[in-house]
Chains A and B, each alone.
Chain A
Amino acid sequence: MDKEIGREIILEHFQHPLNKEEIHDDRYIKINSRNPNCIDNLDIAILIEDSTIKDIKFMGEACAISTSSTSIMIKNLIGKSVKEAINYINNFYHMVNEEEYDEKVLNEALCFQDIYKQNNRKSCALLPYRGILKVLEEYESK
């Protein structure tokens, strides 16, 4: 992805994050993602029904990278089956860790293509993914 376009996507999602709202609904599974090295602190709530991700919302305080990464992740995950979602997340991990990945799966999240060059920001981009992957894998194994 073109660097300038990538930067604009990140900024747009940071300034106007999607799905940032509080959820009080017991059907949602709640996840807290914290970054031990910094101050990011996100609460994510996910609704899974019939092996499909119906909705995700998030709240919290986080830097531009974490916030936009969360917003983009949620946008990409809503509507996916749990299996597709796990595949998407694994591809994102691979991209950030400089391993082989499928560009087509990631679409907008490709704006983090170069994040591996900034070691101290990798964990920001990955922040929302960690907790959610665990929840999805647990759902799959049930």
Chain B
Amino acid sequence: MHREDFPMLNQDIIYLDNGATSLKPKSVIAKQVDYYENYSANAHRGDYDISYKVDLEYENTRDLVRDFIGAKRKEEIVFTSGTTDSLNLIVNGFFANLLEAGDEILITKMEHASNVMPWFRIAGETGAVIKYIPLDDNYFVTLENVKASITPKTKVISLAEITNVVGDIRPIKEITKYAHEKDIFVVVDGAQSVPHKKINVTDSDIDFLAFSAHKMLGPTGVGVMYAKYELMQNIEPVNLGGGMNESFDSPEKMVLKEVPTRLEAGTPNIAGVIGLGEAIKYLNKIGMENIEKYEKNLRNYFIEKLVSIPHIDILNLESDSGIVAFNVDGIFAEDVAYYLNKYNICVRAGNHCAKLTKDILGVTNSIRVSLYFYNTESEIDNLIELLKDKDKIMKEMI
């Protein structure tokens, strides 16, 4: 749907790497150009008209984000440089002060590096321990397995709502409900879910959420950290500097601004934030439910054809999202990607930044197709046609 809105699609490419980043519609690009061409002043310091407009637009995005994820207050929204930055802020700004030796951090082996490494480091620094929730036969997280993994020492559960390799949709709301009964915090990596499905942080009651603009039609270098207002107050800024202070007279006397500004030191990515606002408007116009439905249908269409190819091994047959991971029997994933690239098909090959998955999947590498609403059945047909013929792959991959 809506292919005409995406300038990249004027090229002769089939873009199936939306898990890595999405394409950008004209309106999002134009919105940023408009900032640079017509009111390119700094934010939060406006003593003149165009600077005031910057503040309005910047804060308007905060409202749009609040509404988009169902947060209660705009002060719960902090702009960062992306999911990675958000997760690091959550870990280093909040959990670093909370975790003690012996406390347990629950994650899974399917998490993205950005939801693993910050925890690894904080575990090393505080003496907290990383525990992995076991996955079921489909590599899914079940509430039962979460329950079984919780101990009196569990302090936090940090999960992707949708993982970037297996693409399963985790039962976040149920997990959170149970976790809160045990006074455990829940951190959600929304990098792969927020762009593709309706999310409501108030309804699911999660404590922290991280996501990136660039995977949801927005610009690169912008992300969001959501935290419940009460928790937001206890996040120590990782960065100190301009924009976030009231005054600073001496090391003992530094007065910081209120949240969320306190957590946004320095000149932010103004064009990017404003661009994210436009991306949200665009997504709202289509409707997240429609996007979810469309992608699910397209996935089913793809899977149905893919299972009938004997030399293809699908790693995540049972998942619900637009992520399909597979291998061609006897051929290295990257060689398949090179082969498809010859036909201008963009897919990802590799371990997808989730290096712990090899313990579970038994394969280090796979080919990943990740769909978005602008992909079509005819694109899938093209891909299937190329994958059907193993001899052709062998012949043309080098």
Write the residues of chain A forming the contact surface with B, with a CB cutoff of 8 angstroms. Answer: 7, 10-11, 14-15, 38-41, 61-65, 67, 120-121
Which of B330, B338, B365, B397 is A61 in contact with, Cβ under 8 Å?
B365
Cα–Cα distance between A64 and B332 once the two chains are bound (Å): 7
- Chain B, residues 316-359, CB within 8 Å of chain A (1/0): the string is 00000000000000111111001000000000011100000000
Which of A10, A41, A61, A62 is B398 in contact with, Cβ under 8 Å?
A10
Closest to B338 in A: A121
Q: Can you give 5 A-B contacts (C-beta < 8 A)?
A: A10-B398, A15-B330, A63-B335, A64-B331, A65-B398
Most buried by B among A15, A41, A61, A120: A61
Cα–Cα distance between A55 and B397 once the two chains are bound (Å): 30
Q: How far is the CB of B336 from chain A (nearest CB, A)?
A: 10
Q: Collect the chain B residues with CB atoms within 8 Å of residue A67's CB.
A: 332
Q: How far is the CB of B230 from chain A (nearest CB, A)?
A: 43
Q: How far is the CB of A77 from chain B (nearest CB, A)?
A: 22
Q: How far is the CB of A37 from chain B (nearest CB, A)?
A: 9
Question: Are A64 and B397 CB-contacts (below 8 A) given A39-B364, A39-B365?
Answer: yes
Q: Collect the chain A residues with CB atoms within 8 Å of residue B333's CB.
A: 39
Judging by beta carbons under 8 Å apart, are A62 and B332 in contact?
yes
Closest to A67 in B: B332
Cα–Cα distance between A11 and B398 once the two chains are bound (Å): 8
Closest to A6 in B: B398
Q: How far is the CB of A4 from chain B (nearest CB, A)?
A: 10
Q: Collect the chain B residues with CB atoms within 8 Å of residue A63's CB.
A: 332, 334-335, 338
- Chain B, residues 382-398, CB within 8 Å of chain A (1/0): the string is 00000000000011011
Judging by beta carbons under 8 Å apart, are B349 and A39 in contact?
yes
Cα–Cα distance between A41 and B331 once the two chains are bound (Å): 16
Q: Collect the chain B residues with CB atoms within 8 Å of residue A14's CB.
A: 398
Q: Which DSSP category, helix, strand, loop or mixed, fits chain A's interface?
A: helix
Cα–Cα distance between A56 and B83 once the two chains are bound (Å): 44
Write the residues of chain B forming the contact surface with A, with a CB cutoff of 8 angstroms. Answer: 330-335, 338, 349-351, 364-365, 394-395, 397-398
Judging by beta carbons under 8 Å apart, are A61 and B332 in contact?
yes
Q: Collect the chain B residues with CB atoms within 8 Å of residue A7's CB.
A: 395, 398
Q: How far is the CB of A121 from chain B (nearest CB, A)?
A: 7
Which of A10, A11, A15, A38 is B334 in contact with, Cβ under 8 Å?
A38
Cα–Cα distance between A28 and B253 once the two chains are bound (Å): 62
Closest to A121 in B: B338
Cα–Cα distance between A65 and B335 once the two chains are bound (Å): 8
Q: Collect the chain B residues with CB atoms within 8 Å of residue A40's CB.
A: 334
Closest to A65 in B: B398
Q: How far is the CB of B20 from chain A (nearest CB, A)?
A: 14
Judging by beta carbons under 8 Å apart, are B394 and A39 in contact?
no
Cα–Cα distance between A84 and B330 once the two chains are bound (Å): 35
Closest to B334 in A: A63
> Other than the known A7-B398, A64-B397, what 14 A-B pairs have Cβ atoms closer than 8 Å?
A10-B398, A11-B394, A14-B398, A39-B333, A39-B349, A41-B364, A61-B364, A62-B332, A63-B334, A63-B338, A64-B335, A65-B398, A67-B332, A121-B338
Cα–Cα distance between A11 and B394 once the two chains are bound (Å): 8
Q: Collect the chain A residues with CB atoms within 8 Å of residue B330's CB.
A: 15
Q: Collect the chain A residues with CB atoms within 8 Å of residue B397's CB.
A: 64
Cα–Cα distance between A63 and B333 once the two chains are bound (Å): 8
Q: Collect the chain B residues with CB atoms within 8 Å of residue A10's CB.
A: 398
Judging by beta carbons under 8 Å apart, are B351 and A39 in contact?
yes
Cα–Cα distance between A85 and B265 once the two chains are bound (Å): 56
Q: How far is the CB of A118 from chain B (nearest CB, A)?
A: 8
Q: Collect the chain B residues with CB atoms within 8 Å of residue A38's CB.
A: 334, 349-350
Q: Collect the chain B residues with CB atoms within 8 Å of residue A64's CB.
A: 331-332, 335, 397-398
Q: How far is the CB of A51 from chain B (nearest CB, A)?
A: 35
Closest to A40 in B: B334
Q: How far is the CB of A80 from chain B (nearest CB, A)?
A: 26
Cα–Cα distance between A15 and B365 once the two chains are bound (Å): 18
Cα–Cα distance between A14 and B338 once the two chains are bound (Å): 15
